[in-house]
Structure 1
Amino acid sequence: MTAELAVVLPAVTALLALLLLAVSAGMLQLRLEEGARAGARALARGDSSAQVVDTVTRLAGQGTAVSLAHEGAYASVTVQGRAGGVLSGLVPWEQTARATAHTEEAGPRGER
């Protein structure tokens, strides 16, 4: 019984580490997408770049890279990050989310 456990335990540990990496990557992707959507909405409203980056960083998490762009009548936010965990150093897995929103124009009395 002990010999079988000694053979199986490393495989179970490696499988658990892979599952935790997959869960971490999935949660990171959700945070990146939420941050990109919120940032695109804020940029389309006319918020400053610093406010947009702060919003995206707050939602997507620290250690993410944020890039802002205006493409015609659209505002675009791209967020990049890496999943953390035990195996994250072995897997160079860069995740990206991008969101685009139509820029809002001022109303008839200067209202947004």
Structure 2
Amino acid sequence: MGPWRSDRGTVTAELALALPAVVLVLAVVLVTASAGAARLRCEDAARAAARVASTGVSDDAVHGAALEVMGRPVEVTVRRDPPWVVVDVVTVMPGGWFTGGALGLSATATALLEPSVGGHHHGWSP
């Protein structure tokens, strides 16, 4: 028996101890990345919905635009205060067991109403 025999199994034991920590870190990274991507989609959905709302369409069409961009169920609130329209988009994404449940996401976007819709741009210019 050489000197190598005394360390036999040490690597396996170290791997068995370290593997749960590696899996936990990986899970945290994946949930964080997924939440970040969902947050960006939520902001995109709010912007798209605000742009659609600025054309004077119905709230159902605005909701449809947000749903199309978000790709998951959303709650959409439209506030029209000429010459502006404000759209709030709220959704929920599943979290990991370490997040304590689902993660809520929200975003708000504002757009200038199109002049043909009543957005009389009184003295406002881009």
TM-score in terms of structure 2 length: 0.76
Instruction: State the shift of 1:97 in Å.
Output: 0.8
* Structure 2: 5+ residue stretches without partners: 1-10, 118-126
The answer to whether residue 52 in structure 2 is matched with residue 42 in structure 1 is yes
For 1:94 and 1:43, how far apart are their aligned partners in 2? 24
Contact 1:65 1:80 in 2 (8 A): yes
1:75 partner amino acid: V
What is aligned with 2:80?
Answer: 70
1:9 partner amino acid: L
What is aligned with 1:5?
Answer: 15
Q: Cα RMSD (Å) of the superposition? A: 1.9
1:59 partner amino acid: V
For 1:21 and 1:69, how far apart are their aligned partners in 2? 32
Query: Please, which moves more after superposition, 84-93 or 40-49?
Result: 84-93
Contact 1:45 1:103 in 2 (8 A): yes
Larger Rg: 2
* Structure 1: 5+ residue stretches without partners: 108-112
2:20 match: secondary structure: helix
Q: CA 1:102 to 1:88, structure 2 compared with 1: closer, same or farther past 3 Å?
A: farther
For 2:16 and 2:76, how far apart are their aligned partners in 1? 46
1:76 partner amino acid: V
After the TM superposition, list the runs of 4 or more consecutive aligned residues in structure 1 that deviate by more than 4 angstroms: none
1:47 match: secondary structure: coil
Aligned length: 107
Instruction: State the shift of 1:105 in Å.
Output: 1.9
Q: Percent identity between the aligned chains? A: 34
Q: Which fold has the larger relative contact order, with Cα–Cα distance below 8 Å and residues 6 or more apart in sequence? A: 1
